[in-house]
């Protein structure tokens, strides 16, 4: 019988822990104040944890800003509260987190970071009627499943890759390009769209190579590319790879220019690539943050609070603000009431002017190309966006 | 005899009541977690045949899970425009996964212990790389809008109601998974008591002796791989229908390791132990989620990042359990005896020199 | 031809890093037949400890190989302490346990170290400061950098050093004796516990050097960097014949070169049907092929099967 003891004790501990968590309801709301829960789900462990934390910071700052305004919605003072969960970038955990948000009756969700977690979770939010705005999932499928609750505040891969493909031909004047990606939904999706658009614009695609989102050694592929002598190398993937890659490109003596998407358009790229990064191009959705009316202020306050912006925190900030703006217009924090208003959004964010098309995609999303000049990303051109 | 019947009825009632109770006390996310725990129980039982019964260390088991899942996803979604029914796809998933199992088994029969482990790991990675790069699997973007599981006119994905109680899809899936888990338990149980099961334990304990007493170890090992893989394929089919979207990132090496942990932590070769290991390890990471609130309540401040702390606690739990109970939490009585009888000669085996 | 040469050079450098890590796997395996899954994480800790030191010094304006050397000198004792601690806490209590039990506790240690490192160093990918001028040399159209040369050199020296310790010293003899038969070695007056501990010390020290070299070479460090590296090194150890020192070296170099040539030539050999994305498939198929014909790896001892 004592053999059975350990399992029983363990189960009891588990149940104890769980119910202890369950009983901690959102508190500290003074009487008469309505507490509105906003869920945020990002990978906080694993290789993308740094981006997950950045997203959480952006979301948290927006919620604090909104609370500082002392909003009254539906005749009641409102206090927003962030519920942040770790989905480990794992699709299965993503659905459990989504179900948890549905149980907690959150009024809206900002997330998830990856397309792989965003898509399966969106089905649960749709069933529960909870509006979801992804700040960073770029897989076109996400908003094309027929769910009314799915939105994003970032252009999808088709939009971004297409613009960049044309840009390489028209502005950079490249005749030949070598394409690389990290074999993820995001990286490969972007690279494929880029390749298609570049070909259509008359650029010769010499090769399309694939690496891994966990790789650090790209020299085999780069050596191959070196032999083909492209004018420019395009990489679809994240900064954690493109930074070291940039170094290896230069140390192999490759002279080609370098262009990458939003995943590499970060401060992290600057530090990782070091001096080798000079002259690299990258693109970010939206207007240059300095050019947006509220952008400069956002950047200053974010830096003071959390340090450098990694990547998507401004989009998280916008996502929260768009959601709250819809609540204000609907004069309700009830999802079914403010969802129609959210679809009709027309809001000036820190990254772009935000309105959604019938699928929930960002309408007329613009993309800004930056160039790394003396250690800083300097805005070059703003592409796309038919008003 | 009578008390046994009552005990059986009682546990049946408990199993039926479990999702309702869980929903009432803990919420629906825990019902969903129960569903996943059952999927893992099926996977762990499948791996248990390979590792626990036949003693073959397999680090790429998730490949069979992936095969089942992709089979269902491709043949029951708009991706290829095919919508086959479950009654055809479930046995097909088992069959295709089993042939993959035999395919893996065939060239590796001569390998022992850790060499086998690394080869199976390589096999798992090869499958994942193909899934990530082939067109027919839609590459890294994965397959979406997969049909929910349907039997006759009953869709498991839809909401139903019973006696005024609202029954969302996660309930229907729970009962489907319970039935299939029970079936897999039954097969596992019959296998372990059969001639084949005894032959497998003979191979596990001493392959050379087994061979010299006339057992066809080749066939037996292949059979273990195929049987284990079939269960993996079945759970894969169910996973794809349940989740509605699959992509290669659900079938990583880490997942294989987790399933192996379930088998070993629960108690290799012992059905009840393995199921307990699966349920425990599926639930633990979620059970540690409230840690941030706990920190907040105790210290008034979140000192350590809750997400990292959660996985840290999980890891410590793994280590502590193994140290306290190296045979697993709930080892089979027979297996236990075998292990302790071995104590005297443990370590006296010859090893490769440095 | 210059491209081929370049691929081989890069492969050898990458392979020698695998080999350094593989040594740790192979030594521990040789003596207690345990796949030390946490070894990759020890490498990661070495890299990050080294990074902290090098960063401090770089901030003061120090440059050159001396800075890297000091980073290594701090990383080695840290990793040794860590390796010793892991052995004491997670493996020693399980020495008589069923053989899969220590494997699971090793996986636990691996996850725990990753999370601890994330708590200490944060989640960001950290930049290894550029303290080296890193001049390049040209050989027949291919480029080799100073860092690459140093990595090759250090790996060679450490391999030789390890071999001398294992083959020529009293400690090494005790190690080999314990590997052959711990109980008899114990009867002969060998303190088996101490021998196992010193094996972990040596393996962890090598891991520390590998960690700092990996960081310096690729210029990046992160709490998840050890996992894949560990798996690759383990693969290399098995390819060469786990338990064999020269096997680890050979396996590492071979794996590095195969990976590079695979990524470089698969696509042109198959006319674009199969690209660089399949280079890992090639590496694993190669491994399976080798093991089918030599079930104990390239340099592994044959006929050591327990009867």
Domains A30-155+293-354 and A157-284+367-383 in one fold: yes
Look at residue B12 in the predicted model and tell me its pLDDT. 92
Q: How far apart are CA C144 and CA B171, in angstroms?
A: 62
Region for residue C160 given its phi and psi (left: phi exceeds 0; alpha: psi -120 to 50; beta: otherwise): alpha
Task: Suggest the residue from C117, C139, C142, C220 to mutate for an interface test with chain A (most A CBs closer than 10 A).
Answer: C220
Indicate whether B168 pLDDT > 70. yes
What percent of chain A stands above pLDDT 90? 66
Indicate whether B345 pLDDT > 80. no
Quick one: angle between helices A295-306 and A313-330, nearest 10?
120
Indicate whether C254 pLDDT > 80. yes
ipTM for the predicted complex:
0.90
Residues A364-368, mean pLDDT to the nearest whole number: 85
Look at residue B89 in the predicted model and tell me its pLDDT. 95
Look at residue B294 in the predicted model and tell me its pLDDT. 73
Strand order in the sheet with A33-42: A72-73, A76-86, A33-42, A108-111, A132-134, A150-152
Indicate whether B343 pLDDT > 80. no
Q: ω before A112 within 30° of 0 (cis)?
A: yes
Contacts of B288 in chain A (CB under 8 A): 17
The CATH code of domain A30-155+293-354 reads: 3.40.50.2300
Look at residue B246 in the predicted model and tell me its pLDDT. 94
Q: How far apart are CA A192 and CA A205, in angstroms?
A: 11
Look at residue A14 in the predicted model and tell me its pLDDT. 52
Q: Do the chains contact at B293 and A91, CB–CB below 8 Å?
A: no
Look at residue A371 in the predicted model and tell me its pLDDT. 96
Choose the closest CB to B129 out of C100, C105, C280: C280
Kindly report the nearest CA distance between residue C64 and chain B, in angstroms.
36
- Give the confidence band of B311 by pLDDT, cuts at 50, 70, 90: confident
pLDDT tens digits for A79-124?
999 999 999 899 999 999 999 999 999 999 998 998 889 999 999 9
Residues B59-72, mean pLDDT to the nearest whole number: 96
Of A174-183, B16-25, C262-271, which gets the smallest average pLDDT? C262-271
Look at residue B296 in the predicted model and tell me its pLDDT. 66
Indicate whether B111 pLDDT > 90. no
Say if residues A196 and A179 touch (Cβ distance below 8 Å): no
* Residue with the two structure tokens 């950079």: A172
Look at residues A34, A31, A28 and name the one whose alpha carbon lies nearest to residue A79: A34
Look at residue C303 in the predicted model and tell me its pLDDT. 45
Of A165-179, B181-195, C4-18, C171-185, which gets the smallest average pLDDT? C171-185
Of A155-159, A325-329, B194-198, which gets the smallest average pLDDT? A155-159
Say if residues B109 and B221 touch (Cβ distance below 8 Å): yes
More confident residue, B298 or C212: C212
User: Domain locations in chain B?
Assistant: 27-269, 288-331
Look at residues A215, A44, A270, A51 and name the one whose alpha carbon lies nearest to residue C127: A270
Q: Do the chains contact at B322 and C96, CB–CB below 8 Å?
A: no
Structural tokens at position B200? 């497998």
Residues A324-348, mean pLDDT to the nearest whole number: 95
The kind and range of the H/E element at B18 are helix B2-26
Look at residue B66 in the predicted model and tell me its pLDDT. 97
pLDDT tens digits for A35-90?
999 999 999 988 888 899 999 999 999 999 999 999 999 889 999 999 999 998 99
More confident residue, B58 or A158: B58
Task: Suggest the residue from A42, A89, A224, A243 to mutate for an interface test with chain C (most C CBs closer than 10 A).
Answer: A224
Average pLDDT, chain B: 88
pLDDT tens digits for C173-194?
999 999 888 888 989 889 999 9
Which residues touch B48 (CB under 8 Å, ≥6 apart)? B188, B228, B263, B268, B269, B271, B274
Quick one: angle between helices B2-26 and A2-23, nearest 10?
20
**CATH classification of B27-269 is 3.10.280, yes or no?**
no
Encode burial over B107-124: b for 16+ CB neighbours within 10 A, e otherwise.
ebbebbbbbbbbbbbbbb
pLDDT tens digits for B211-263?
888 889 899 999 999 999 999 999 999 999 999 999 998 999 889 999 999 99
Contacts of C98 in chain B (CB under 8 A): 268, 326-327, 339
User: Domain locations in chain A?
Assistant: 30-155+293-354, 157-284+367-383
Look at residue A138 in the predicted model and tell me its pLDDT. 85
Q: How far apart are CA C123 and CA C121, in angstroms?
A: 7
- Give the confidence band of C304 by pLDDT, cuts at 50, 70, 90: very low
Which range has the top average pLDDT, A5-14, A210-219, C197-206?
C197-206
Residues C109-127, mean pLDDT to the nearest whole number: 93
**CATH classification of A157-284+367-383 is 3.40.50.2300, yes or no?**
yes
What percent of chain C stands above pLDDT 90? 64
Q: Which residue of C has its CA nearest to A275?
A: C130
Contacts of C94 in chain B (CB under 8 A): 322-323, 326
Q: Are strands A257-260 and A232-236 parallel, antiparallel or unpaired?
A: parallel
More confident residue, B256 or B304: B256
Contacts of C263 in chain A (CB under 8 A): 209, 220-221, 224
């Amino acid at each position: 019988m004592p053999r059975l003891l350990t399992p029983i004790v363990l189960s009891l501990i588990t149940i104890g822990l769980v119910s202890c968590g369950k009983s901690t309801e959102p508190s500290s709301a003074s009487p008469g104040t309505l507490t509105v829960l906003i869920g945020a789900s990002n990978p906080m462990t694993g290789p993308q944890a740094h981006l997950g934390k950045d997203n959480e910071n952006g979301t948290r700052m927006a919620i604090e800003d909104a609370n500082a305004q002392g909003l009254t919605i539906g005749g009641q003072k409102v206090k927003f509260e962030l519920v942040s969960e770790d989905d480990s970038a794992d699709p299965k955990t993503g659905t459990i987190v989504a179900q948890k948000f549905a149980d907690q009756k959150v009024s809206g969700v900002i997330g998830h970071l990856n397309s792989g977690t965003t898509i399966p979770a969106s089905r649960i939010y749709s069933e529960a009627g909870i509006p979801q705005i992804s700040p960073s999932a770029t897989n076109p499928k996400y908003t094309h499943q027929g769910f009314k609750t799915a939105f994003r505040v970032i252009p999808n891969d088709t939009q971004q890759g297409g613009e960049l493909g044309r840009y390489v031909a028209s502005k950079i004047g490249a005749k030949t390009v070598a394409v690389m990606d990290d074999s993820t939904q995001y990286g490969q999706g972007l690279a494929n769209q880029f390749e298609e658009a570049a070909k259509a614009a008359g650029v010769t695609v010499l090769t399309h190579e694939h690496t891994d989102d966990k790789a650090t050694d790209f020299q085999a592929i780069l050596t191959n590319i070196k032999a083909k002598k492209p004018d420019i190398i395009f990489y679809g993937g994240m900064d954690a790879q493109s930074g070291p890659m940039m170094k290896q490109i230069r140390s192999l003596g490759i002279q080609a220019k370098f262009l990458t998407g939003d995943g590499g358009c970060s401060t992290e790229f600057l530090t990782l690539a070091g001096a080798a990064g000079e002259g690299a191009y990258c693109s970010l959705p939206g207007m240059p943050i300095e050019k947006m009316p509220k952008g400069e202020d956002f950047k200053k306050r974010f830096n003071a609070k959390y340090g450098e912006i990694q990547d998507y925190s401004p989009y998280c900030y916008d996502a929260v603000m768009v959601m709250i703006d819809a609540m204000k217009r609907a004069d309700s924090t009830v999802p079914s009431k403010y969802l129609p208003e959210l679809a009709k959004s027309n809001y000036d964010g820190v990254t772009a002017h935000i309105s959604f098309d019938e699928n929930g995609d960002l309408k007329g999303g613009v993309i800004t190309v930056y160039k790394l000049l003396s250690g800083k990303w300097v805005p070059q051109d703003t592409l796309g966006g038919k008003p | 005899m009578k008390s046994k019947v009552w005990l059986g009825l009682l546990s049946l009632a408990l199993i039926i009541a479990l999702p309702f109770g869980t929903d009432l006390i803990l919420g629906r996310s825990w019902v969903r977690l129960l569903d996943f725990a059952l999927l893992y129980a099926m996977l762990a039982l499948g791996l248990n045949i390979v590792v626990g019964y036949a003693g073959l260390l397999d680090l790429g088991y998730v490949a069979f899970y992936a095969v089942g899942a992709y089979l269902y996803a491709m043949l029951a979604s708009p991706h290829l425009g095919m919508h086959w029914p479950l009654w055809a796809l479930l046995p097909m998933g088992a069959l295709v996964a089993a042939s993959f199992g035999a395919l893996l088994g065939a060239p590796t029969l001569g390998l022992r212990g850790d060499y086998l482990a690394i080869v199976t790991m390589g096999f798992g990675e090869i499958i994942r790389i193909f899934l990530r790069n082939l067109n027919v699997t839609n590459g890294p973007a994965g397959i979406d809008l997969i049909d929910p599981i349907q039997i006759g006119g009953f869709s498991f994905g839809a909401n139903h109601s019973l006696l005024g109680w609202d029954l969302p899809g996660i309930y229907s899936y729970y009962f489907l998974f319970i039935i299939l888990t029970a079936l897999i338990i039954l097969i596992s149980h019959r296998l372990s008591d059969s001639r084949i099961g005894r032959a497998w334990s003979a191979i596990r304990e001493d392959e050379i002796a087994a061979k010299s007493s006339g057992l066809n170890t080749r066939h037996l090992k292949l059979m273990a791989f195929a049987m284990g893989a079939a269960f993996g394929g079945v759970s894969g089919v169910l996973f794809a229908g349940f989740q509605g979207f699959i992509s290669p990132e659900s079938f990583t090496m880490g997942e294989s390791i987790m399933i192996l942990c379930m088998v070993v932590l629960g108690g290799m070769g012992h059905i009840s132990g393995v199921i307990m290991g699966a349920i425990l390890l599926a639930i633990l990471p979620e059970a540690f989620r409230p840690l941030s609130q706990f920190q907040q309540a105790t210290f008034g401040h979140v000192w350590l990042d809750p997400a990292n702390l959660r996985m840290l606690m999980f890891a410590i739990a793994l280590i502590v359990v193994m140290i306290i109970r190296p045979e697993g939490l709930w080892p089979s009585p027979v297996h236990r005896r075998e292990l302790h009888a071995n104590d005297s000669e443990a370590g006296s085996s010859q090893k490769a020199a440095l | 031809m210059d491209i081929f040469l370049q691929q081989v050079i890069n492969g050898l450098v990458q392979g020698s890093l695998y080999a350094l890590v593989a040594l740790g796997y192979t030594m521990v395996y040789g003596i207690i037949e345990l796949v030390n899954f946490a070894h990759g994480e020890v490498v990661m800790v070495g890299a990050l400890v080294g990074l902290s030191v090098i960063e401090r010094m770089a901030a003061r304006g120090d440059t050159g190989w001396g800075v890297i050397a000091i980073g290594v000198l701090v990383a080695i004792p840290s990793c040794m302490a860590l390796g010793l601690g892991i052995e004491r806490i997670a493996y020693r209590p399980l020495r008589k346990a069923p053989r899969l039990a220590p494997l699971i506790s090793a996986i636990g240690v691996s996850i725990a170290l990753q999370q601890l490192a994330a708590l200490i160093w944060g989640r960001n990918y950290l930049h290894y400061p550029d303290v080296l001028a890193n001049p390049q040399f040209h050989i027949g159209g291919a480029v080799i950098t100073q860092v690459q040369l140093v990595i090759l050199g250090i790996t060679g020296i450490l391999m030789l050093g390890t071999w001398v310790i294992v083959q020529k010293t009293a400690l090494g003899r005790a190690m080999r004796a314990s590997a052959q038969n711990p109980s008899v070695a114990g009867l002969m007056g060998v303190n088996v516990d101490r021998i196992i501990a010193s094996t972990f010390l040596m393996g962890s020290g090598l891991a520390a050097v590998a960690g700092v070299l990996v960081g310096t070479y690729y210029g990046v460090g992160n709490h998840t960097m050890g996992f894949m590296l560990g798996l690759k090194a383990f693969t290399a150890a098995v390819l060469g014949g786990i338990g064999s020192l020269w096997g680890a070296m050979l396996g590492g170099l071979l794996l590095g070169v195969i990976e590079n040539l695979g990524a470089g030539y698969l696509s042109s050999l198959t006319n674009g049907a199969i690209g660089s994305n399949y280079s890992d498939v090639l590496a694993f198929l190669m491994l399976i092929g080798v093991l089918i014909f030599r079930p104990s790896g390239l340099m592994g001892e044959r006929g050591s099967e327990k009867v």
